[in-house]
Amino acid sequence: MLMFLLRRLAVALSVVLTVSVIAFLLLHLSGDLALAIAGPEASPEQVAQVRAQFGLDRPMIVQYGAWLADAARFDFGRSFYFRDTVAALVVQRMPVTLTLGAISLGVALVIAIPLGVLAAVKRGSWIDRAALIFCALGQAIPTFWLGLSLIILFAVNLRWLPVSGSATWAHYVLPSVALGWYAVPAVMRLTRNGMLDVLASDYIRTARAKGLRWPQVLFKHALRNAVVPVVALAAVQFGFMLGGSIVVEAVFSMQGLGHLAWEAIARKDFPVVQAVVMLLATIYIGLTLLADLLNAWLDPRIRVA
C-alpha cells in the first residue's frame, strides 16, 4: 500500500512539473512581455528598463527556475492590473469556486448514483427509460441557458432564492444545480452500466445463494464494485466543474476563481492566468490522486497494481 502511494505521488509530481512548464511558457509565447508591461507608448529605453527590472533578459531556463521556486512558495508575483499580489487575489477568490464545485459535485452524485442504481435494477422499465431521457436532456442543455432559466423561474418569478452573488448559502443553490447538472448524465450512465455488469456477475449469484436479502446484495455486494469507476469519473468531473465554473460564475455574478481567470485573460494579466492554471491543475491532479486512493480502498485488487 505504501509503495502504491509513493508511486502515485511520483506520477502526480511529474504531471505538476509538466503543467508548470506549460504555464510558464504560456507567458512567453504570447509576445514580448516587456513590451506588454511597459505599454504601447513606451520608448525603447523604458522597455529595456522594464526588461531588466523584471529579469526578462536572463536565459529562459533561469527565469523558469526562479519562477518555479517562487511558485512553490505560492508567490506568483504581482497582478499587472490589480494593485495586489496574485496570491492574495487567488486566496480571496478560491473559497467561492471550491465551495461551488463541491456542492455541485454533491448535488450531481446524490441525483446520479441512486438514479443509476434504480435504472439498472429496473432495467427496461419506464424508470430506466425516463432516466436515460433525463440524461440526454442533461447533455443537450447548455449550462448558461440552464442557469438563466433557473434564475427566471426560482429567483425572478417564484422569488424563492437570490438572483446573484455569493454572500449566503442560499446563493449557492441555483449555481450548484446549474453546474452539477452537467455531471449527472455521465455519472448516472456509468453507475447504471456498472451495476448491470456487477449484477450479472458470479459473486452476486453467490451472495444470493447464501440467502442474503436484496438490500444487502444490492448495496453491500453490488454497489461497492460498481462504484469504483464512478469515483475516478467524479474526480475528473470535479476538475471540469472548477474549470467550467467560469460560465456559471459569470451567469450568477459570483466572485470566484473562474471569474478572476476570465477577467485576467481579458486584460492579459498573465501572472494571474498562470497562477489560476497552476492552481486548478494542481487541484485536479490532487483529486485524481485522491480518487486512486479511494479506489484502492474500495477494490483491494488495485492496491498491488
Partner 1 sequence: MPLLDVDHLTIDIPTEGGLLHAVNDVSFTLERGETLAIVGESGSGKSLTSLALMDLLPSKAIRRARSLRFDGIDLQAASERDKENLRGDRMAMIFQEPMTSLNPAYTIGDQLAEALRRHRKVDRKTARDRAVHLLERVGITAAASRLGQYPHQLSGGLRQRVMIAMGLMCEPDLIIADEPTTALDVTIQAQILKLLRDLQQEFGMALILVTHDLGVVARVATKVAVMYAGRLVETGPVEAVFGAPSHPYTRGLLRAIPVPGRTRPGEPLGTIPGQVPSLVGPLSGCSFRNRCDHAQDACASEIPDRTVTPGHRMACILDPVQTWAEAPALALDDRRPQ
Q: Is 7 in the site for partner 1 (CB under 8 A)?
A: no
Query: Helices in 30-153 by DSSP H: which ranges?
Result: 33-38, 44-53, 60-72, 86-121, 126-140, 143-150
Q: Is 213 in the site for partner 1 (CB under 8 A)?
A: yes
Q: Which of 31, 65, 224, 253 binds partner 1 (CB under 8 A)?
A: 224
* Residue 161 CA, distance from chain mean position: 25
**Backbone dihedral angles phi then psi of residue 85, each to the nearest 5 degrees:** -75, 155
Q: Which of 190, 221, 245, 249 binds partner 1 (CB under 8 A)?
A: 221
C-alpha cell at 187: 455519472
User: Taking contact as CB under 8 A, which single stretch among the options 150-158, 164-172, 198-206, 238-246 is the one that binds partner 1?
Assistant: 198-206
Q: Which of 43, 211, 215, 266 binds partner 1 (CB under 8 A)?
A: 211
Closest to partner 1 by CB, 144 vs 203, is 203
Q: Is 73 in the site for partner 1 (CB under 8 A)?
A: no
User: Taking contact as CB under 8 A, which single stretch among the options 32-40, 140-148, 220-228, 265-273 is the one that binds partner 1?
Assistant: 220-228
Query: Alpha-carbon distance 258 to 271, whole Å?
Result: 15
Q: What is the largest CA-CA distance in the chain?
A: 86
Residues 6+ apart with CB under 8 A from 103: 172, 176, 180
Closest to partner 1 by CB, 206 vs 253, is 206
Q: Is 122 in the site for partner 1 (CB under 8 A)?
A: no
Residue 55 DSSP code: T
Site residues (vs partner 1, CB under 8 A): 201-203, 205-213, 216, 221, 224-225, 298-301, 304
